[in-house]
Homo-oligomer: A and B are copies of this chain.
Amino acid sequence: MAVKIADPLLMREINKFHVLETIRCHGQISRVEISERTLLSGTTVSAITGALIEEGLIHATHTEANGETHRGRPRVLLGLVADAAYVLGIKISEATTTVTLIDFQGEVVTSVQLPIRLSRQPAEVIADLIEDAMDDCINKSGVNRKRIRGIGIGVPGLVDPRSGRSYASSVFGEREVPLSALLGERTGLPVKLEKPANLLALAEAWFGYAQRDKSFGVIVLDQTASLGLWLDDDVHRGASTLGPTFGHLKVGSQGVACDCGQLDCLNAHVSDAALRKHAADALGSGFVQTALARTSITAALAEACDAGEAEARKIIDGHGAKLGVGVSHVINLINPEKIIVVLESQRYCDLVEPALRAAAAANSFRAHYASTELILHTLDDQLWARGAAALMLRDIYSAPWTSAYQEELQ
């Protein structure tokens, strides 16, 4: 039984949720329009918005009709109270860690970057560093700490959101780190852990390209390739709760070894490490070393390609082709409405796109390829943060009819 028994209170909660959702999606909206959109009666909308105002979640922004001026009493526009709650979004990467404070509307309040390579430190030290960064972020913002409702974190590698543990992550020396617990102790706040791709999926679903879509996938290349799958209004986690393993799909049969001990995993072909190796083989280790001191491997390849280096072009095409095969598996099996591929730079998107699309098309069933929209765009640091924030915000907004709601409350 995934759905709760109905009683009058649940009824209210459901309708309250719908009203809040409508306000959240629309930004500024009058009671009449809420009534029209939700099909709730004006009376009910008034009662619910009244309660929400009392709870401090929304307020009348007092702005009258926008632009054109109407005849009668102007509509009072309602909007979320930005100050109603705050959430910290944290994105941990190998080279940089970003801590961002997000308000109830999902807007960035403050953001702090920690340009530190964490991988040499034990988990306890890393937790301390992150705590300092959070404090810094909060202090800069001037936000009352009591209004902060939780912390959402994205960390590479395997993540079990249920236990809040990170496994085999490249940023930690330890194989297993109870990151949720470490940060929960220090802050007294609820902490949610997710893999970065799921964070992006959340961000796309809440703020990005996929707000209306029932199903979509987000593929992100952040050291390794990873997929976040959004199905039925939630991140898909699967039986292991680890989410899909895009990076270990098998592509091709060249017999390239992957860290996981198997052969021809996608990651063995498209991870940053693999790209560096390809580049070193084709362009010389000197090129790689000088380039990487300055920039990322994809940026370096893009530059070399633009400089007319045929080998760089070949590597990029190969990269796109392998990614395309992976994408084709997603199209064939899931056939989501959208697949969003998130890459580091616009230039690299442009360079990799032809080969990626060609491979995706060549390896997926026609009808499915035609119905899945393939989008490439660049990685926005704020998108990470907002995804991490959405992780916590969705708890505040949580849909009342799911049993998950109850579990998370206790």
Query: A residues near B, CB below 8 A?
Result: 1-3, 5-8, 10-12, 14-15, 18, 21, 38-40, 158, 214-215, 227, 229, 231-233, 236-240, 242-246, 248-250, 252-253, 260, 262, 325, 328-330, 332-337, 362-368, 370-372, 399, 401
Q: Which residues of B contact A233 (CB under 8 A)?
A: 2
How close is A377's CB to chain B, nearest CB, in angstroms?
19
* Residue from the list B8, B367, B401 in contact with A240, Cβ < 8 A: B367
How close is A373's CB to chain B, nearest CB, in angstroms?
8
User: Most B CB atoms within 10 A — which of A1, A6, A334, A366?
Assistant: A6
A240–B325 alpha-carbon span in the complex (Å):
19
* Chain B residue with Cβ nearest A338: B239
Q: Which residues of B contact A38 (CB under 8 A)?
A: 1, 5
Given contacts A245-B368, A330-B333, A333-B334, whether A15 and B11 have CB atoms under 8 Å apart is: no
A11–B3 touching, CB < 8 Å: no
Q: Which residues of B contact A14 (CB under 8 A)?
A: 3, 5-6
A250–B364 alpha-carbon span in the complex (Å):
8
How close is A240's CB to chain B, nearest CB, in angstroms?
4
* Residue from the list B158, B250, B332 in contact with A325, Cβ < 8 A: B250
How close is A399's CB to chain B, nearest CB, in angstroms?
7
How close is A257's CB to chain B, nearest CB, in angstroms?
13
Q: List 5 A-B contacts (CB under 8 A).
A: A1-B21, A238-B371, A242-B367, A249-B332, A249-B333
Q: Which residues of B contact A8 (CB under 8 A)?
A: 11
Q: Which residues of B contact A3 (CB under 8 A)?
A: 14, 18, 399, 401
